[in-house]
Amino acid sequence: MSMTVTLKVWRQANSTAQGRLETYTAKNVHPDMSFLEMLDVVNDDLIREGKDPIAFDSDCREGICGSCGLVIDGIPHGPDPGATTCQVHMRRFRNGDTITIEPFRAKAFPVLKDLVVDRSAFDRIIAAGGYVSMNAGGAPDGNSIPIPKDIADLAMDNAQCIGCGACVAACKNAAAHLFTSAKISHLGILPQGEPERLRRAERMVARMDAEGFGSCSNEGECEAVCPKGIPISSIARMNRDFLKAALSR
């Protein structure tokens, strides 16, 4: 059975323009549609009417890339825990519902247009230290460096971070500590990443601060909305490494 929902969508021409919420009616919405498919249908109607379609970002639509991030009714990525916006389906809403859709809001994520934000600050944080120095050549034997399973699992848990920015959008301070700590942790706790461990933490935290992200008040909103379940214990690990780096200087 099809649904009709009312959308209140943030429209903003560019990063310097005045933004506003505009109201649209989405008709003939099937409950099995994904949230982004529903927006596609709305945009098709707007294009037929000669109006500017709603700009939103997406790529894989499989919960892998995280570019689809929207704030749905005040929750980054929407009501489903452990899911990105593209994995939210319209069966999570009821016929006649009013749904508010906004971009991820942070000083370091300027709005490009409507629901699209510039997340390139994350790229610069990674570039500041998200690498390991190893000799190039053939791939080493998989068992040449024994790594305990709990350490390998912890590294992989942090490596799952897709850099979507939901942690920043959920934080009242717009802090990027969960993202940055995940990128620091998945390298630093493995033997291959040990040589740069302290320098990596120092450089990436400095870049994070320079990008204009806020401070962490350890309230856990970031962990609650992270689609990959990155734990806030990673932030504590980052803080320890950063403090060790400062003391070693």
Taking every pair of Cα atoms in the chain, the longest distance, rounded to a whole number of angstroms, is 65
The tokens for 137 are 């050549």
Distances (CA, A) of 164 to 2, 102, 178: 31, 15, 11
Listed residues 90, 112, 134: the one ending a domain: 112
**Residue 131 sits in the same domain as residue 241:** yes
DSSP SS3 for 105: coil
Rounded Cα distance, 4 and 94, in Å: 9
* CATH code: domain of residue 50: 3.10.20.30
pTM above 0.75, yes or no: yes
**Residue 40, domain extent:** 3-112
**Residue 131 sits in the same domain as residue 204:** yes
**Residue 157 sits in the same domain as residue 216:** yes
Rounded Cα distance, 212 and 129, in Å: 18
**Residue 135 sits in the same domain as residue 102:** no
**Residue 168 sits in the same domain as residue 240:** yes
Q: What confidence score (pLDDT) does residue 142 get? A: 66
**Residue 168 sits in the same domain as residue 241:** yes
DSSP output for 140-171: PPTTSS---HHHHHHHHHHHT-----HHHHHS
> What are the per-10-residue average pLDDT scores of the chain (249 residues)?
95 96 97 97 97 97 95 97 97 97 97 98 96 74 83 95 98 98 95 92 97 96 97 97 92
Going by C-beta distance under 8 Å and a sequence separation of 6 or more, which residues neighbour residue 133? Answer: 195, 196
Listed residues 51, 78, 112: the one ending a domain: 112
What is the total count of domains within the chain? Answer: 2
